[in-house]
Amino acid sequence: MTDERFEQARSRLTGRAYRLLGSLADADDVVQDAWLRWNSTDPATIDNADAWLNTVVTRLAIDRLRQRKRDEERYVGPWLPTPLVERSGDPADLAALADSMTTAFLIMLERLTPDERAAFLLADVFGDRYDAIAAAMDRTPESCRQLASRARRKVRDVRLERRDEHRVATDVANRFVAALASGDEAAAVACLAPDAVYVSDGGPHRRAARRPVSEPSRIVRLLVNLWRRWPDSTRVTPALVGGFPGLVIEAGDRVVSTNSVEVVDGRIVRIASVLNPDKLVDVERPRSALS
């Protein structure tokens, strides 16, 4: 099989695996495994290369997702998807991140079983036919329809909540960060919705809140204390993180944290912080590498 044909499909396959898994590292591993299978297969046995690659990547991703779900039982603290980070200066360009790759969408998918997630994504995001979905999932088309329908019911209420447009959300995020930096807790609390939540993922290597933190005053006290602990050499850069306004925090040449805020009706409803170093490698991958 030709490497050129596979490389032409790589970004599409990586984007498919990333949505299925919520992890860039796992998506890369799945695509690499697919490449190995591609190179060890007789071309004469493949009628449709794209369909073959879609099926292989989907099956590998589902297997890895099932394993990850089992491993999460031993994961330290909350699990968050790997965020995609953009530091482009054009807000319109930043806001163009596909909805299906935002942190909010990937967190929503965590409500689903691996098979529900796969059927839902393949049908509603990738637009695959149910006979192709059935082949990828080794199920009947009818069972895949049932899985996708069940997934839609589970996420329907979550998807109804509309996030504010990028310009409005960025303004709220900027006011919140300025309040944290100045230690103005009252102003910071005013930026949060009453049911706001702060979720941090440090994994096994970094200290982070073991449970989501709720109540605006508790969230602000925690973040103000964390802000004060950063050394003067820490670099804090505004960015689009997982499709939302946020910050990239760096020490030396390493990204040590990404933080994003989701805004609804002018108030922050969720702050997501990723500190797990395994998830911060290559987070600023060009969007063209994930179609």
Tens digit of pLDDT for each residue in 33-62?
999 999 998 878 888 999 999 999 999 999
| Residue 184 reports pLDDT greater than 60 | yes
Inside any domain, residue 47: yes
Q: How confident is the model at residue 283 (pLDDT cuts 50, 70, 90)?
A: confident
Query: What is the secondary structure of the chain as a DSSP string?
Result: --HHHHHHHHHHHHHHHHHHHS-HHHHHHHHHHHHHHHHTS-GGG-S-HHHHHHHHHHHHHHHHHHHHHHHGGG-SS---PPPPEE--S-HHHHTTS-GGGSHHHHHHHTTS-HHHHHHHIIIIIS---HHHHHHHHTS-HHHHHHHHHHHHHHHHHHHTSPPPPHHHHHHHHHHHHHHHHHT-HHHHHHTEEEEEEEEEE-TTTS---SS-EESHHHHHHHHHHHHHHS-TT-EEEEEEETTEEEEEEEETTEEEEEEEEEEETTEEEEEEEE--GGGSTTTT--GGG--
10 and 100: one domain?
yes
Tens digit of pLDDT for each residue in 69-109?
988 888 888 999 998 898 865 555 544 556 788 898 999 99
Domain hosting 36: range is 3-74+96-160
148 and 30: one domain?
yes
Tens digit of pLDDT for each residue in 202-232?
888 787 888 999 999 999 999 999 888 888 8
Inside any domain, residue 145: yes
Q: How confident is the model at residue 199 (pLDDT cuts 50, 70, 90)?
A: very high
pTM for the model? 0.89
37 and 107: one domain?
yes
171 and 138: one domain?
no
204 and 227: one domain?
yes
Inside any domain, residue 20: yes
pLDDT at residue 191 in the model: 98
pLDDT at residue 2 in the model: 65
Give the number of domains in the chain.
2
Where does a domain end: 137, 160, 183? Answer: 160
52 and 152: one domain?
yes
179 and 150: one domain?
no
Inside any domain, residue 40: yes
